[in-house]
Amino acid sequence: MLSIRDLSGVHFNSQAIAPTIEQIDQSFGATHPGVYNSAEQLFHLNFRGLSFSFQLDSWTEAPKYEPNFAHGLASLQIPHGATVKRMYIYSGNSLQDTKAPAMPLSCFLGNVYAESVDVLRDGTGPSGLRLRLLAAGCGPGLLADAKMRVFERSVYFGDSCQDVLSMLGSPHKVFYKSEDKMKIHSPSPHKQVPSKCNDYFFNYFTLGVDILFDANTHKVKKFVLHTNYPGHYNFNIYHRCEFKIPLTVKRENTDGQTETCTTYSKWDNIQDLLGHPVEKPVVLHRSSSPNNTNPFGSTFCFGLQRMIFEVMQNNHIASVTLYGPPRPGAHLRTAELP
């Protein structure tokens, strides 16, 4: 059994002490009235940064409600001796609104992280990225405190390799594409002349961003933004990219409106705003080698407004690929995947 103490060092859960409602009250004192979730049959008692849940379904005594409580939530009188079923420890005042605390400066270790990434658009589609970056150390820029450095950088389609290096610094890794396995989905794959050079990615793991350069011109042709959700093949390789993407929504009898897609948007919500994609999705199945099985399953790639959304089976967005303006005579298709 896990032994847990309160701030004063007194145990409220151990082999000798059960975490009852009375023990919690004695250890932590008074708080706001509890909240009852009828769907889960759980009674939640909340403190700052700490919540306890008590199960109701096994009680012989029916819970007593006091319905005259703000926002329709009922305070609850619960039987003596009820024990804790779950305990949550979090940062903030509310479990529903909690967010991960800011990364300590001691963890930066010379790396640069992205606080936010805004996708820039022109009249035809995405044009580049505006990144709000965080770094530890001194130097020019807006100082959030004595040691934190906050600054903005922008990169665009068509920027040279040197432009990107001067804006974002050296990548963590450079990856050269050996082949394009999705070429079979192109309009005329048999007419495509094999390239003598390979396009290459700059992988910025702490930014959650990949940048693809054309092998001949050495200019930006693609951005890939990673959400780092559990259950994806690339989970825990990239830091989560906190992106915001403006999407053009066309409705009847109105001009084009703009809605925002974020890292936490779900694909069904985006489809409700924009309508279903014209083309069917491409099924993407990653594996480390031909004989290995991907335990996370396939993902689905939808093309929309010069972007490809890679969607997991739970409706979360795994990555978003942004394409630059097509070259004359070229057509962007869903199958043009990284």
**Spatial separation of the C-alpha atoms in residues 128 and 316, rounded to whole Å:** 23
Position 326 confidence tier, pLDDT thresholds 50, 70, 90: low
Q: What is the mean pLDDT of residues 266-287?
A: 80
DSSP, collapsed to helix, strand or coil, labels residue 96 as coil
Q: pTM for the complete prediction? A: 0.72
Per-state percent for the chain, helix, strand, coil, to nearest 5: 10, 35, 50
pLDDT tens column, 162-180 = 999 999 999 999 999 876 5
Position 181 confidence tier, pLDDT thresholds 50, 70, 90: low
Q: Determine how many CB atoms are found less than 10 A away from the CB of residue 56.
A: 21
Which residues share a beta bridge with 87?
52
Give the residue from 27, 28, 3, 26 showing the smallest Cα distance to 14.
3
- What per-residue confidence (pLDDT) applies to 45? 81
**Spatial separation of the C-alpha atoms in residues 230 and 210, rounded to whole Å:** 19
Which residues share a beta bridge with 225?
209, 320
**Spatial separation of the C-alpha atoms in residues 277 and 304, rounded to whole Å:** 7
Contact 5, 14 (CB under 8 A): no
- Tell me how far CA of residue 194 lies from CA of 179, 186, 301, in angstroms: 10, 14, 25
Q: What is the mean pLDDT of residues 57-65?
A: 49
DSSP, collapsed to helix, strand or coil, labels residue 98 as coil
Share of the chain above pLDDT 90, in %: 35
- What per-residue confidence (pLDDT) applies to 101? 79
DSSP, collapsed to helix, strand or coil, labels residue 191 as helix
The residue ranges of every structural domain in the chain are: 4-97, 105-182+196-323
